[in-house]
Amino acid sequence: MRILITGGAGFIGSHVADAFIAGGHDVAIVDDLSSGSGANVHGGTRWYRLDVRDAGLDAVLSEERPEIICHHAAQVSVRRSVEAPQADADVNVLGSLNVFEAARRHGVRRLVFASTGGAIYGEQTGAAADETHPCRPRSPYAVAKLAVEHYLDYYCATFGLQGVVLRYANVYGPRQDPHGEAGVVAIFMQRVLAGLAPTIYGDGEQVRDFVYVDDVVAANLAALDAATPEGEAAIFNIGTGRATSVNALWRVIERIARPTTDAYHEPARSGDVRRSVLDAARAARQLGWRPKVDVEAGLARTWTWFLEHADRKAAEAA
């Protein structure tokens, strides 16, 4: 299939691109490197360095004629969305609408949208949130993601687009940028490598559902030909269902990385929820998707990558 990935130079999007190419698909990437890296771009893709808000996106679709768009491009920081909600909406809402409009004009058959289960439900009322849980977003980032889900549903109902929404839990793994994308795992590991003390916000007993990037990639592969209801977008949680506190996460990293300093605590941040754990039973039933990598194994793999990455940087600097 001919697939266009927005955000294909980013942490998750680049892994997805690699897997699509390995599966024999014809892949093009749109990415302006606002949070991605050119080093992540697979040599087997065609790369357009372009902001998804740019009118030039129309020419890209005219040239590429994709059957499927996998939309990962976004302003990815919850913290920045709190500080600058208008800028967040400009990228995440208006940028997405530009993608959807271009998809409509050029006859794209299916659009897979990378949404957030880690933020969209707000404070959860049960042990794990399924897709019917009320959405009570508590950050501009999550508000924008929910708005885009509704826009995608509109395009499915009005223009016959096939839509798949993947609500990711807290994704981590190799290539995650501790500066650009602000994932807690990447931040902790980068601090350890630098001999600095990681920061835990609040008491550290807030819990998250940490899902390894390879499992997220598998969900994207499954979404390419998943059955979708006529006239609406199909929504799937992509998480492990396992609750891990930030303190427990740090203890695992301590065992793996053996840091020279301990973490310290600062006050809780605005926009952070206390509990975020996803029930992915629908994805298991309808996509045949289940997570395969547990937190301990995923953190070990991620630490190995960070070590190798640090060694490579040191060698390049020598």
Find the CATH number of the domain harbouring 145: 3.40.50.720
Same domain, yes or no, for 193 and 299?
yes
What is residue 317's predicted lDDT score, i.e. its pLDDT?
38
Predicted TM-score (pTM) of the model is: 0.95
228: in domain: yes
Domain that holds residue 51: 2-172+212-238
On the question of pLDDT at 154 being above 50, the answer is yes
Which residue in the list 141, 155, 172, 212 is annotated as catalytic?
Answer: 141
Residue 308's alpha-carbon distances to 11, 19, 260, 302, in angstroms, are 17, 22, 19, 10
Residues ≥6 apart with Cβ < 8 Å to 230: none
Q: Are 210 and 169 in contact (CB under 8 A)?
A: yes
104: in domain: yes
Q: Are 9 and 35 in contact (CB under 8 A)?
A: no
What is residue 315's predicted lDDT score, i.e. its pLDDT?
42
Same domain, yes or no, for 202 and 151?
no
Same domain, yes or no, for 44 and 104?
yes
What is residue 316's predicted lDDT score, i.e. its pLDDT?
44
Q: Is 141 a catalytic residue?
A: yes
Same domain, yes or no, for 226 and 193?
no
Token pair 């998943």 is found at 226
Same domain, yes or no, for 231 and 257?
no
What is residue 233's predicted lDDT score, i.e. its pLDDT?
98
288: in domain: no
Token pair in block for residue 281: 């039973």
User: Model confidence at 314, in pLDDT bands (50, 70, 90)?
Assistant: very low
Same domain, yes or no, for 18 and 64?
yes
Cα torsion at 186, 190, 192, 197 (round to 10°)? Answer: -90
Domain count, the chain: 2
User: Model confidence at 183, in pLDDT bands (50, 70, 90)?
Assistant: confident
Cα torsion at 302, 129, 112, 172 (round to 10°)? Answer: -10
On the question of pLDDT at 86 being above 80, the answer is yes
179: in domain: no
What is residue 282's predicted lDDT score, i.e. its pLDDT?
98
What is residue 313's predicted lDDT score, i.e. its pLDDT?
53
Rounded CA separation 242/258 (Å): 24
281: in domain: no
Same domain, yes or no, for 200 and 139?
no
Same domain, yes or no, for 143 and 109?
yes
Q: Using H for helix, E for strand and C for coil, what is the string for the chain? A: CEEEEECCCCHHHHHHHHHHHHCCCEEEEECCCCCCCHHHCCCCCEEECCCCCCCCHHHHHHHHCCCEEEECCCCCCHHHHHHCHHHHHHHHHHHHHHHHHHHHHCCCCEEEEEEEHHHHCCCCCCCCECCCCCCCCCCHHHHHHHHHHHHHHHHHHHHCCEEEEEEECEEECCCCCCCCCCCHHHHHHHHHHCCCCCEEECCCCCEECEEEHHHHHHHHHHHCCCCCCCCCCEEEEECCCCCEEHHHHHHHHHHHHCCCCCCEEECCCCCCCCEECECCHHHHHHCCCCCCCCHHHHHHHHHHHHHHHHHHHHHHHC
Average pLDDT over residues 129-137: 96
Same domain, yes or no, for 219 and 85?
yes
285: in domain: no
177: in domain: no
Same domain, yes or no, for 225 and 299?
no
Half-sphere CA count of 236, side-chain side, radius 13 A: 31
Average pLDDT over residues 211-228: 97
Same domain, yes or no, for 44 and 144?
yes
Q: What is the CATH number of the domain that holds 258?
A: 3.90.25.10
Same domain, yes or no, for 69 and 93?
yes
51: in domain: yes
